[in-house]
Amino acid sequence: MTPILQVKGITKRYGGLTAVNEVSFDVAEGEILSVIGPNGAGKSTLFKLISSFVTPTSGEVLFKGDRISGLAPHQVARKGVVRTFQETTIFRSMTVRENVIVAHHLRSRASLLGFFLGTSLARQDEAEFGASADGIIDFLGMGAIRDELASNLPQGHLRALGMAIGLATNPRILLLDEPFAGMNHDETMRMVGLVRRLRDERGVTVLLVEHDMPAVMKISDRIVVINFGQKIAEGTPAEIQSNEKVIEAYLGSEDAAIGM
Ligand SMILES: Nc1ncnc2c1ncn2[C@@H]1O[C@H](COP(=O)(O)OP(=O)(O)OP(=O)(O)O)[C@@H](O)[C@H]1O
């Protein structure tokens, strides 16, 4: 079966600096794959290359066998490859539900202008989007804060809202940028459970960049390790934890040791 995502020899140079260097890997449909590596290794750049926020210097990314590199980020998102958290737009003066409804307009037939002008197509979308938004909010266990203004939400809830906004675009692949950052153990475990359910119940393929090693080891089917822009290892959590190159890359870095 063709992998849902293929990263093929992708390179990104900024002037003399090679942020990502000839990285290749495949992602199978329904897989949870983490990208890890010391600070500055090139993980965020790799995510931006996959979601087409930056253009590769060379190499390409294929989604379901079609090249997506070179498309605009919104075109890639419409195809179903959605990056969330760092560049998610949350309208702080809107409620949780309103934010999730507005996010549906990325896949809307009517334009966002139509939504504000109240055209009939937009009104039809509105009813459909309201029901879908409620489904997502319930799925994420956010029912109690449905009508809360985003400006009143603490960090953990804002993150959940970021995920709800990502889900509103009906992704086939969700790219999560440090989903556990700033969370305590209980919040992290709750988020781990949610990501698993996303895959199990909605069939979403998940790629994540994360520094929280215990969470990465718990959640991932497979891990890709990047150091100085290059892929140095790829394998199951158990394989990665005992990989000499990986242990060496992490020695002396700010991140906690790879083992637990
Ligand atoms: N827009 C840019 N212009 C110039 N250099 C950049 C740019 N974006 C990233 N870099 C450089 O590319 C390298 C990789 O950065 P990147 O943010 O991808 O690493 P990272 O692994 O995500 O780091 P962290 O874990 O600290 O978030 C770094 O040396 C960074 O300074």
Q: State the closest ligand 1 atom to the C-alpha of 44, by its place in the atom list counted from 1.
A: 22
**Calpha distance 207→24 (Å, rounded):** 14
Q: Which residues line ligand 1 (CB under 6 A)?
A: 14, 17, 19, 37, 39-45
Shortest CA distance to 73 belongs to which of 103, 93, 48?
48
pLDDT at 259 over 60: no
Confidence of residue 87 (pLDDT cuts 50, 70, 90): very low
Task: Report the separation in Å between the CA atom of 117 and the middle of ligand 1, taken as the mean of its atom positions.
Answer: 42
Going by the DSSP 8-state scheme, the letter that residue 78 receives in this structure is: H
pLDDT at 86 over 70: no
**Crossing angle for the helix pair 120-139 and 155-168, to the nearest 10 degrees:** 130
Q: Which of 35, 45, 86, 211 to mutate to test the pocket of ligand 1 (most atoms within 8 A of CB)?
A: 45
Give the per-residue pLDDT at 67. Answer: 96
Report the mean per-residue pLDDT for the chain. 88
Q: What one-character-per-residue DSSP string does 221-245 give?
A: SEEEEEETTEEEEEE-HHHHHT-HH
Q: What is the pLDDT of residues 216-250, one digit of tens each?
A: 999 999 999 999 999 999 999 999 999 999 988 88
With pLDDT > 70 as the criterion, what percentage of the chain qualifies?
A: 87
pLDDT at 258 over 60: no
**Are 1-80+207-260 and 81-170 in the same CATH fold?**
yes
Shortest CA distance to 12 belongs to which of 28, 25, 23, 27?
23
Q: What is the pLDDT of residues 174-212, one digit of tens each?
A: 999 888 888 888 888 988 998 999 999 999 999 999 989
Task: Report the separation in Å between the CA atom of 38 and the middle of ligand 1, taken as the mean of its atom positions.
Answer: 11
What's the ipTM? Answer: 0.95
Q: Which of 21-35, 117-131, 142-156 has the highest mean pLDDT?
A: 21-35
The residues spanned by each domain of the chain are 1-80+207-260, 81-170
pLDDT at 153 over 50: yes
Question: 81-170 architecture in CATH?
Answer: 3-Layer(aba) Sandwich (3.40)
Confidence of residue 166 (pLDDT cuts 50, 70, 90): confident
**Calpha distance 102→93 (Å, rounded):** 13
pLDDT at 25 over 70: yes
Confidence of residue 260 (pLDDT cuts 50, 70, 90): very low
* C-alpha to C-alpha distances, 121 to 107, 111, 117, 158, 168, nearest whole angstrom: 13, 9, 11, 30, 18
Give me the amino acid identity at 102: V
Question: 1-80+207-260 architecture in CATH?
Answer: 3-Layer(aba) Sandwich (3.40)
